[in-house]
Amino acid sequence: MTIPEPTPEPTRPAVERDRRVLRARIARGRKGTLDAGALVEIRAALVALDPADTGAVLLVGEGADFCTGGDVAAFATAADRGAYVRRLAEGFHLFLTALAACPVPVVAGVRGWAAGAGMSVVCATDLVVAGHSTRLRPAYPGIGFSPDGGMSWTLPRIVGAGRARQILLTDQVLDADAALAAGLVTAVVDDDEVLAEAGRIAYRLAQGPTAALGRIKRLLAASPQTSLAGQLATEADAISESAAGPEGAEGLTAFLEKRPPRFH
């Protein structure tokens, strides 16, 4: 008797483009584990991203979960676990660095679990749409690990140092309402509407004033390390550039003509 080969799990391409939106799949398969190969492809797309062509990035998973973290079974069976995990972390961090530097808004559609590396990605994203059944968990302490993916840097900046200590040290599971209250997600919708709503937000942002939104991202990123005087000077430069550019011209003209602006 011939045993048929198992049918491979369907996998969407790691990167797709549609209407000025770059759609990136960070996890794979029914288990929702982080896809290291996809991260390489996504990072290359982020580094090469041209705001003239792409106005937003949409991050999604595959299957029921956004991302359940790394492949723990592979960690356990590695000949040199420390070296293996370091190599994975360094590759993940290259992706996270490109994500943080992305000049356009990044939106995540988070269904099911965002655990471990998945939660790190959520913390590095500009806008996050969750479902009512969405759960966030650091997960690293559960396997005796400390976090990677910048979670120890981004989480306290979102929720505050004391709350971050509580979440990380106790490996707290946050449901959608708790994540919304903490500022880790920006909207909660019905589970079957998560990807559609995240897509709507991404497509709307992609049609907006891309250069101005990029300046907003840079201003927000710089503000924690900048004095008020320095931030005011940077804001003056940024708003002057906006006013002098084509987006500013269209925005002002549309306002005076009492019509919606057409930035793209």
Q: What are the tens digits of pLDDT across the range 70-83? A: 999 999 999 999 99
In sequence order, the β-bridge partners of residue 130 are 110, 188
The verdict on 78 and 117 lying in the same domain is: yes
Q: What is the pLDDT of residue 4?
A: 37
The verdict on 101 and 192 lying in the same domain is: yes
Give the CATH number, domain containing residue 23. 3.90.226.10
Residue 6 has pLDDT above 80, yes or no: no
Q: Is residue 135 part of a domain?
A: yes
Taking the C-alpha atoms of residue 64 and residue 110, their distance in angstroms, rounded to an integer, is: 10
Q: What is the pLDDT of residue 172?
A: 98
The verdict on 222 and 163 lying in the same domain is: no
Q: What is the pLDDT of residue 11?
A: 59
Q: What is the pLDDT of residue 30?
A: 79
Taking the C-alpha atoms of residue 226 and residue 237, their distance in angstroms, rounded to an integer, is: 15
Residue 8 has pLDDT above 80, yes or no: no
Q: Is residue 4 part of a domain?
A: no
Q: Is residue 104 part of a domain?
A: yes
Residue 244 has pLDDT above 60, yes or no: yes
Domain limits for position 229? 210-256
Q: What are the tens digits of pLDDT across the range 108-117? A: 999 999 999 9
Q: Is residue 115 part of a domain?
A: yes
Residue 16 backbone phi and psi in degrees, to 5? -135, 155
Q: Of 191, 206, 221, which residue sits at a domain end?
A: 206
Q: What are the tens digits of pLDDT across the range 169-178? A: 999 999 999 9
Taking the C-alpha atoms of residue 256 and residue 235, their distance in angstroms, rounded to an integer, is: 24
Q: Is residue 3 part of a domain?
A: no
The verdict on 201 and 240 lying in the same domain is: no
Say if strands 127-131 and 113-115 run parallel, antiparallel, or are unpaired: unpaired
148-156 average pLDDT score? 96
Q: What are the tens digits of pLDDT across the range 155-171? A: 999 999 999 999 999 99
Q: What is the pLDDT of residue 7?
A: 38
Q: In one letter, which amino acid is 167?
A: I
Q: Is residue 8 part of a domain?
A: no
The verdict on 107 and 80 lying in the same domain is: yes
Q: Is residue 125 part of a domain?
A: yes
Q: Domains in the chain: how many in total?
A: 2
The verdict on 69 and 187 lying in the same domain is: yes
Residue 256 has pLDDT above 70, yes or no: yes
pTM for the whole thing? 0.92
